């Protein structure tokens, strides 16, 4: 099936130029050609009889871009893509765009702006919407543009452009921006309101108005004046070309917003890092001072962001379909989260019957058609995923013959797709700068939908191959084609002229979008969030297997970020996002305007709940972060379904196993004989997954390892640490609770951890409402290993392990540990650490709880100061006793200093005795006070 390979000089030159970005040759030759990519190839012309991007009538479309933007790769699948993709022939402007807190829609006269604050429930109660409704339209007097084009864009902002030959208008809008920044010529600034406004402030060039119950501020250049005439408000620009407006959280916020009215946002950029088990991301805006010297701004953070930042926030908030947005007064903020680990497969455990598993594996390997007739991109991908999951499973039980047979099947099918001229191939669209697989499916060709879903399976399968055959994955072999799929879907480069930066992933929204054209009144949408994270997990595995740490860390950032967005916006984990009038605990689809308990193809509850779990892989562990959420999700499925799952029972059993492995195992044991696996699943994988988790316990996502290919599982208080080392030398993996695991080269290892306890002491700021380091220097001990400023937790108790009859005075032994990270504070002169605890040894004799407090001043993993206090000799009478710092310090090391993203830890252990004791949590009698302000 090898095609005749032709490589024009123009294509070769561009390939050389783009090789610097590290993702392989480019795809924009000057003439029609087949382009080599290592051992593979693709074309720049579609196969005969196929289509590329079209509008709703089937007519071909090209991007709507200004001259300034015509050579930039368009980030299709974004929140604003309808500006560039004219899906409907009679709408050359845009469909509604949901920036949050503001919503927008381009029209002939300018930009409609709305701030929806009241949800509506539609679709028989299955969908909630904060639908766009224009409060006002920003434009220029007389503007009547025939279309709107995309003039510029950055990571989460965009600049629409209007021109009618006399007047031109550019506006900059974006996620989290309470401002709209406008530049115009040929007319006065014009604001047309949906109804006559109420003026609450008038200071010449600054006007405060209320319309439709929402407060706005209008800003024209200094020396100009707004004129209100009914629903029309105008201002001359006084020889300038700029003006702006802002939605105000309250009328008394006008002074604050006025300060930043002429600090125009000109761009947005996210940067990320993944190290030590923590993913950090910084979201930055660039600004230009149109008047004066102010370069700061205001930005509204989504819930998934403010839960994980320790940066200062104002008291201002906004309503959004994603819950409350909180406002920061700065041009940047940083989030920090424990990384979501990925493993190639769950590890081998003794509870798995290898003979039974081998039989299940042979059912797949020896099937007459392991690909089940799949020919298009999506269903081929599903089959690739099913086989790829089983390769490491076969390997770990010594079935190398089955492993190699499956590897052969994967290689053969991928190589068919990665070679131009056969029944299946990839073709580069030079207008839209995208790689389309043919045969396509679900509009991946005509609407540019779902590339990240489909291609995730190809990258995942390639990563599994690379684990066993690095030569196959080399750039000179098939790795370049894999990287081209990555460039299409998750390109980390902003300078690659052949593909856009992170096509499908909306860095500010925290998740991907599926529609290539965004041509809906409800904005863009995403249904299968878990197929999006499948791509992120694939990047972690591919980057790890090929030594590309930048792609590995990109995958870790995407997976960690999106998994939190899924918890909040698909599963409403904290039950703070969905409107109270919406009668569901989970949704199948998230829209720009809200979310829906539905799928694109069925209203069957099994699919609604299952679509955000598949495919279940070693990258799915994040789904088990909150066990109560899993149980609530499945309970709703059974209520809506009228009983347990039937069609997708295997997926939902595996999902349940992430929270309650024993229950899932009981269901598997009772029902495994009489079901047909979901198309991307197999009995081999389902059996191994459920049985392994039943042995190890559910994943504990509160602990992470210092490589992304690691995970922790907990059963009956015992942690099992798992890591896969792709390197050529042995290494020690360190987990965030101090546990370590030695992992041989190119191997998976498991263990109970050396040097660490069974409970992770760490937490991200804001993991629970009120936790974190927002304010205050007094922390309550919270069961589960957290120090928190929250005062609304329930009282509880934790067990302090026995000293096992050995004198542990001064040295922590099996400590019960409490910790908080990302703490900022200024050392208070003359102050010192204090604590107030209640402990109880019951009737046990000779016990002595002891405390150590440690400070890591910069969060780099090294504790700069430790303070060990004398132990407290308990009495043998049941009842709480008070233990405070008044016992005196036994030993101190290091010096205190200011905390900058630091970590504070309290450890308590029994220094003496043969019995356990108890420590109270969750009350004002269980606190640590640090000497900081």
Q: Which residues are catalytic?
A: 450, 527, 531
Q: Encoding tokens for residue 615?
A: 């495919």
Q: How far apart are CA 644 and CA 480, in angstroms?
A: 45
Q: Which helix (H) or strand (E) holds 210?
A: strand 206-211
Q: How far apart are CA 589 and CA 599, in angstroms?
A: 6
Q: How far apart are CA 743 and CA 731, in angstroms?
A: 5
β-strands 214-219, 242-248 pairing: antiparallel
* DSSP reduced 3-state for 170: strand
User: Residue 232: how many CB atoms within 10 A of its CB?
Assistant: 14
User: Residue 759: how many CB atoms within 10 A of its CB?
Assistant: 21
Q: How far apart are CA 449 and CA 439, in angstroms?
A: 14
* Percentages of the chain per state (helix, strand, coil), in multiples of 5: 25, 30, 45
Name residues whose C-beta falls within 8 Å of residue 12's C-beta, 6 or more positions apart in sequence: none
- The residues facing 300 across adjacent strands are 327
Burial (0-12, 13-18, 19+ Cβ within 10 Å), 28? middle
Q: How far apart are CA 774 and CA 877, in angstroms?
A: 39
3-state secondary structure 701-737: CCCCECCCCEEEEEECCEEEEEEEECCCCCEEEEECC
Q: How far apart are CA 872 and CA 839, in angstroms?
A: 9
Degrees, nearest 5: CA angle 507-511-515? 105
**Tokens 């990571």 appear where?**
155
110-113 contacts, C-beta under 8 A, 24 or more apart: 110/137, 110/138, 110/139, 110/140, 110/143, 110/162, 110/169, 110/171, 110/190, 111/137, 111/138, 111/139, 111/160, 111/169, 111/171, 111/173, 111/180, 112/136, 112/137, 113/137, 113/138, 113/180, 113/245, 113/247
Q: Encoding tokens for residue 898?
A: 């200011």
Q: How far apart are CA 210 and CA 195, in angstroms?
A: 10
Helix axes 354-365, 683-696, angle to 10 degrees: 150
Q: Which helix (H) or strand (E) holds 284?
A: strand 278-289
What is the gyration radius of the CA atoms in the chain, in angstroms? 29
**Alpha carbon of residue 240 to chain centroid:** 41
**Tokens 């090294």 appear where?**
862
Note whether 65 and 81 are within 8 A (CB).
no
- Give the number of residues written for the chain: 933
Cα torsion through 381, 384, 389, 390, rounded to 10: 160
Q: How far apart are CA 163 and CA 436, in angstroms?
A: 33
Q: Encoding tokens for residue 664?
A: 């899932």
Measuring CA to CA, how many Å separate 754 from each of 706, 733, 739, 911?
15, 10, 5, 20
Note whether 392 and 617 are within 8 A (CB).
no
Measuring CA to CA, how many Å separate 613 from each of 384, 422, 646?
17, 33, 16
Q: How far apart are CA 353 and CA 267, in angstroms?
A: 57
């Amino acid at each position: 099936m090898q095609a005749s390979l032709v490589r024009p000089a123009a294509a070769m030159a561009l390939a050389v130029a783009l090789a610097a970005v590290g993702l392989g040759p480019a795809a924009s030759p000057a003439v029609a050609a087949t382009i080599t990519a290592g051992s593979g190839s693709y074309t720049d012309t579609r196969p005969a009889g196929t289509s590329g991007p079209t509008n709703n009538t089937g007519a071909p479309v090209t991007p709507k871009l200004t001259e300034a933007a015509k050579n930039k790769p368009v980030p299709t699948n974004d929140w604003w893509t309808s500006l560039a993709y004219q899906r409907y022939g009679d709408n050359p402007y845009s469909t509604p765009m949901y920036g949050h807190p503001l919503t927008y829609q381009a029209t002939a006269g300018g930009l409609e702006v709305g701030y929806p604050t009241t949800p509506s429930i539609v679709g028989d109660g299955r969908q909630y919407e904060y639908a766009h409704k224009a409060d006002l339209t920003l434009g220029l007097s007389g503007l009547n543009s025939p279309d709107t084009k995309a003039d510029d864009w950055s990571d989460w902002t965009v600049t629409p452009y209007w021109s009618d030959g006399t007047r031109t208008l550019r506006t900059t809008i974006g996620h989290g921006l309470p401002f709209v920044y406008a530049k115009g010529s040929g007319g006065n600034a014009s604001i047309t309101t949906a109804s006559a406004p109420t003026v609450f402030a008038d200071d010449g060039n600054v006007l405060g108005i209320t319309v439709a119950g929402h407060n706005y501020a209008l800003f024209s250049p200094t020396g100009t004046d707004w004129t209100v005439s009914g629903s029309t408000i105008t201002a001359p620009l006084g020889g300038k070309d700029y003006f702006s407006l802002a939605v105000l959280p309250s009328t008394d916020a006008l002074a604050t917003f006025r300060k930043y009215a002429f600090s125009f946002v000109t761009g947005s950029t996210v940067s990320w890092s993944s190290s030590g088990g923590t993913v950090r991301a910084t979201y930055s805006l660039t600004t230009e001072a149109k008047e004066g010297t102010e370069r700061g701004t205001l930005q509204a953070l989504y819930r998934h962001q403010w839960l994980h930042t320790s940066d200062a926030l104002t008291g201002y908030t906004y309503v959004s379909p994603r819950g409350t947005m909180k406002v920061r007064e700065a041009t940047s903020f940083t989030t920090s989260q424990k990384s979501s680990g990925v493993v190639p497969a769950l590890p081998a455990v003794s509870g798995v019957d290898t003979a039974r598993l081998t039989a299940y594996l042979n059912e797949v390997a020896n099937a007459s058609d392991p690909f089940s007739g799949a020919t298009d991109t999506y269903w081929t991908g599903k089959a690739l995923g099913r086989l790829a999951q089983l390769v490491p499973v076969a390997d770990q039980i010594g079935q190398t013959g089955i492993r190699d047979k499956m590897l052969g099947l994967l290689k053969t099918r991928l190589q068919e797709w990665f070679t131009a001229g056969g029944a299946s191939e990839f073709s580069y669209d030079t207008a839209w700068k995208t790689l389309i697989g043919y045969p396509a499916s679900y509009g991946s060709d005509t609407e540019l939908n779902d590339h990240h879903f489909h291609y995730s399976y190809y990258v995942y399968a390639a990563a599994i191959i690379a684990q066993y055959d690095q030569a196959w994955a080399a750039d000179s072999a098939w790795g370049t084609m894999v990287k081209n799929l990555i460039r299409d879907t998750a390109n980390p480069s902003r300078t690659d002229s052949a593909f856009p930066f992170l096509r499908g992933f909306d860095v500010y929204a925290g998740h991907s979008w599926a529609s290539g054209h965004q041509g809906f009144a409800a904005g863009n949408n995403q249904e299968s969030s878990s197929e999006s994270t499948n791509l992120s997990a694939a990047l972690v595995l591919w980057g790890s297997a090929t030594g590309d740490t930048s792609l590995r860390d990109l995958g870790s950032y995407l997976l960690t970020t999106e998994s939190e967005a899924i918890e909040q916006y698909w599963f409403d984990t904290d039950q703070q996002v969905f409107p109270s009038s919406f009668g569901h605990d989970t949704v199948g689809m998230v829209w720009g305007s809200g979310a829906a308990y539905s799928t694109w193809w069925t209203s069957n509850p099994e699919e609604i709940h299952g679509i955000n779990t598949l495919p279940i892989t070693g990258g799915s562990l994040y789904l088990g972060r909150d066990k109560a959420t899993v149980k609530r999700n499945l309970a709703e499925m059974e209520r809506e379904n009228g009983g347990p799952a039937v069609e997708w029972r295997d997926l939902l059993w595996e999902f349940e196993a992430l929270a309650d492995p024993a229950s899932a195992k009981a269901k598997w044991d009772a029902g495994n004989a009489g079901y047909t696996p979901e198309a991307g699943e197999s009995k081999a994988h389902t059996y191994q997954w459920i049985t392994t988790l039943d042995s190890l316990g559910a994943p504990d996502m509160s602990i992470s390892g210092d490589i992304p290919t690691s995970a922790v599982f907990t059963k009956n208080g015992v942690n099992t640490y798992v890591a896969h080392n792709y390197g050529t030398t042995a290494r020690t993996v360190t987990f965030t609770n101090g546990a370590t695991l030695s992992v041989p080269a190119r191997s998976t290892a498991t263990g109970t951890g050396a040097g660490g306890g069974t409970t992770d002491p760490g937490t991200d700021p804001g993991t629970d409402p009120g936790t974190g380091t927002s304010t205050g220097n007094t922390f309550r001990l919270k069961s589960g290993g957290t120090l928190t400023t929250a005062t609304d937790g329930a009282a509880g108790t934790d067990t302090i392990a026995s000293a096992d009859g050995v004198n542990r005075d001064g040295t922590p032994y099996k400590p019960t540990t409490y910790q908080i990270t990302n703490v900022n504070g200024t050392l208070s002169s003359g102050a010192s650490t204090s604590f107030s605890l209640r402990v109880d040894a019951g009737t046990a004799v000779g016990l002595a709880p002891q405390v150590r407090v440690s400070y890591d001043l910069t969060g780099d993993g090294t504790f700069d100061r430790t303070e060990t206090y004398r132990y407290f000799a308990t009495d043998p009478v049941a009842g709480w006793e008070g233990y405070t710092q008044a016992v005196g310090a036994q030993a101190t090391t290091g010096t205190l200093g200011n905390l900058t993203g630091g970590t504070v830890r309290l450890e308590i252990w029994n220094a003496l005795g043969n019995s356990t004791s108890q420590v109270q949590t969750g009350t004002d009698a269980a606190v640590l006070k640090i000497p900081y302000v």
